[in-house]
Chains A and B, each alone.
Chain A
């Protein structure tokens, strides 16, 4: 048993080293000094309080989407539609806030309703993808992708149409909300403790859900062998739909937070790739919820840190993506190599 753990660690460490090696080569190819580049990423992420706050702000929605992926993946589903679900959450939250912004209600209540609206919006969008799969036989990958595009189109329509700013609609989004409707932040920063709290809460809930409840166990059974789960009495398609709903709810929550805590308005591409990034994190941690928080934090740090790269070395910030994707790819391949290696013994 001990030998196995060492082999596992060996292959994972190997993947990490290989990833760094390849990205170093890429940096050299572009003419950037590798060591300095990595250091500037680090300083870009942790060098100042402002940067650290930025990392935490990025961490929060990523944690939410990762939590959602963990649930759907448990059920054996590839929920690529999370971008759209997050967008719909943002749309619903904006809609709710616009509805109530002139009402005579305590702002705290309006904010809470906004959050709820976001959750519902995301859940509805996910339910659509689930229904397409369950009743229409449309693979959830394509259903999700298609709905992502629809969500984007919807956002653009709203931003340039019925919800446009007075005057001319622009890519910078709808009319920003009054400050009273902003999620309260730490003084002097843009970080909202509420969003952080919520996301951490969600990932903890998901951890216990998957590990310690009947629902989680049954979901796992459906994901690993739906036929046997069915024979044991688990209502399989209901559980799949429920997984979609939960994941959508979390994505919607993330979208709502983006609106209320960061941008204070609806703008195109508000989901910002968090849906896909959540999938990557989940793949990297091999769907073990316990590692979600640290790895999501790492990815958030990489995202923020590489902005520095852009400033200092005029490199595109997609370098963060390159590093993240490379890491996941090599870990995936490494897992395959390990299985072959172990089999040969």
Chain B
């Protein structure tokens, strides 16, 4: 039994909370600017969100959505501009300070404590007496959970919960802490349909109660179905707002911009099928990608499109021999490599270039010469440093890497690191797998890298690459696969796609038309 003193303090706190703040809050963002080095992530954003609204925030990767939300939730401070809550300008110092102001954020990967129980996660961080007050917290939890029809076992450990349940826990916790503004970052990635229904019902109820909801997502159907209003960001700017009823075409146009005329694609000869995937299935704790079939021809380029977390990274790594596959066949030049180790894949001419250049692709602390020597088959026992340096110089020149053989890799710019990664590849490859090959690079580097990749195509290497740049996908791919929540389209001829159509597919719309016989 908690002591009477504890109960008294608890009650005082709740009463104080109720009197001090009313239950609703209007949010206004005024002329928000944020720059990271050379990147202007938020350019003069003005947005008014009245209480009780479910506001959708739509935009591509890199459009500035997460920066804006980080500013509002206290992770970073804006360089310029104001945040007004109920008309009063506020300064938000930290995420904990944000919650004190009544702003709570639910991250795509919930910031909770997996090895601890649900009740522990619920209580942790809430101010109060020395004792945890578990009994009272349990009561509050059950009361709130009933309101939203959530059912979560208080005693179970968070790492045993599904993503949807972890979200529900976080919602209840933030409400209990007095949040009146809730920001949801890509909440429908990785949850079941039933959980999505429950989530939407909860959000509508919260809005009815007067809470302000910000719903950040790339999934058009969800945003259109749930939100009262939608704001679209592109390249740091707020390019438009829309009210119900929404026009998908209009939203896509705002998100991706006017379709650009696609440049010429080098047609690669329709040669033999070098890589064949049949009924390939991969899964991890969030996603299941099932039964993908694909025949890749000699020198062909296949683009993998989709927002992050849709399954393309998982798929790509499986094709490279690095993800645990659940079933299917991967045939490279006739050899079935499924279930074999990464070394075996390498031996058969499959190479993988990760997006995290310094974390996975390069070894910080070693210089370029050392990398080139590492990448080659070791000849003999001793390293011939002169030969190595010459090789490095050759490749550096060949790939236009701005650096000397003695430079350590961490001193190179992103573009040069990517060129170095490409330069490290051995000459003849059957299949080259690239994760975001030109992410964060300037135009010049992008064009150069693609010219090098095309050279390889002419030599017979097939390429599978992931990109979030629609223009890049359409310009360089022969065919495209689109991923959405683990589902994969059949291979589509890039020539027959427009950026609009591609954008739609990425957002999850227009898939049903595909099954009626479209595509190659």
A residues whose Cβ falls under 8 Å from a Cβ of B:
208, 212-215, 217-218, 220-221, 224-225, 227-235
Given the contacts A217-B370, A231-B360, A232-B375, A224 and B365 also touching, CB distance less than 8 Å: yes
**Contact of B359 with A by CB under 8 A:** yes
Could you tell me if A221 and B352 are in contact, using CB atoms closer than 8 angstroms? Answer: no
B352→A231 contact, CB < 8 A: yes
Q: Which of chain B's residues 310-369 have a Cβ closer than 8 Å to chain A?
A: 342-343, 346, 352, 354, 359-366
Q: Report the minimum CB–CB distance from A211 to chain B (whole Å).
A: 8
B507: min CB distance to chain A, Å: 33
Cβ 8 A contact of B363, one of A212, A213, A229, A235:
A229
B364 partner residues in chain A, CB cutoff 8 A: 224-225
Contact across chains for B363 and A228 when beta carbons are under 8 A apart: yes
User: Which residues of chain A are within 8 angstroms of B381 by Cβ–Cβ distance?
Assistant: 213-215
Question: In angstroms, how far is the closest chain A Cβ from the Cβ of B360?
Answer: 5
Q: Which has the most chain A C-beta neighbours within 10 Å: B364, B366, B424?
A: B366
The complex places the Cα of A212 from the Cα of B370 at a distance, in Å, of 10
For the complex, is B373 an interface residue (Cβ under 8 Å from A)?
Answer: yes
Complex Cα distance A118/B496, Å? 72
Q: Say yes or no for B374: interface residue by CB 8 A criterion.
A: yes
Residue of A nearest to B384 (CB): A212
Chain A residues within 8 Å of B383, by CB: 212-214, 217
The residue of chain A having its C-beta at the shortest distance from the C-beta of B354 within the complex is A231
5 A–B pairs (Cβ distance < 8 Å), ordered by A: A224-B364, A228-B362, A229-B363, A231-B342, A231-B354
B382:A221 contact, CB within 8 angstroms: no
Cα-based distance from A231 to B357 in the complex (angstroms): 12
Nearest B residue (CB) for A215? B381
Name A's interface SS: helix
Shortest distance in angstroms between B295's beta carbon and chain A's nearest beta carbon?
26
Question: Which of B346, B360, B365, B378 touches A214 (beta carbons < 8 Å)?
Answer: B378
A234 near B361 with CB under 8 A, answer: no
Q: Is B385 an interface residue (CB 8 A)?
A: yes
Asked if B366 and A212 make an inter-chain contact with CB atoms under 8 angstroms apart, the answer reads no
The CA of A228 and the CA of B365, in the complex, are separated in Å by 12
Task: Assess the A224–B363 pair: CB atoms within 8 A.
Answer: yes
Docked complex Cα distance between A232 and B360 (Å) = 10
Set of chain B residues within 8 Å of A230, measured between Cβ atoms: 342
Chain B minimum-CB-distance residue to A216: B383
- Would you give the shortest CB distance from A58 to chain B, in whole angstroms? 32
Give chain B residues whose Cβ lies under 8 Å from the Cβ of A218.
374, 378
Q: In the complex, A232 Cα to B420 Cα: how many Å?
A: 13
- B359 adjacent to A227 (CB under 8 Å): yes
Minimum CB distance partner of A222 in chain B: B363
Asked if B374 and A212 make an inter-chain contact with CB atoms under 8 angstroms apart, the answer reads no
Cα distance, A229 to B365, chains bound together (Å): 13
B184-210 vs A, Cβ < 8 Å mask (1 yes, 0 no): 000000000000000000000000000
Q: Are A227 and B360 in contact (CB under 8 A)?
A: yes
For B374, the chain A residues whose CB sits under 8 A away are 217-218, 221, 229, 232, 234
Closest A-B pairs by Cβ, 10 of them: A214-B378, A225-B363, A224-B365, A224-B363, A221-B363, A228-B363, A212-B383, A227-B360, A233-B346, A213-B382
What is the bound-complex CA distance between A208 and B381, given in angstroms?
11
Nearest CB of B to A231, in Å:
6
Write out the residue numbers on chain B whose beta carbons fall within 8 Å of the beta carbon of A214: 373, 378, 380-383
Q: Which of A208, A228, A234 contacts B360 (CB 8 A)?
A: A228
Q: Which residues of B contact A231 (CB under 8 A)?
A: 342, 352, 354, 360-361
Given contact pairs A220-B366, A224-B365, A234-B374, A212 touches B360 in the complex (Cβ within 8 A):
no
- How distant is B404 from chain A, measured CB to nearest CB, in Å? 13
Residues of A contacting B373 with CB < 8 Å?
214, 217
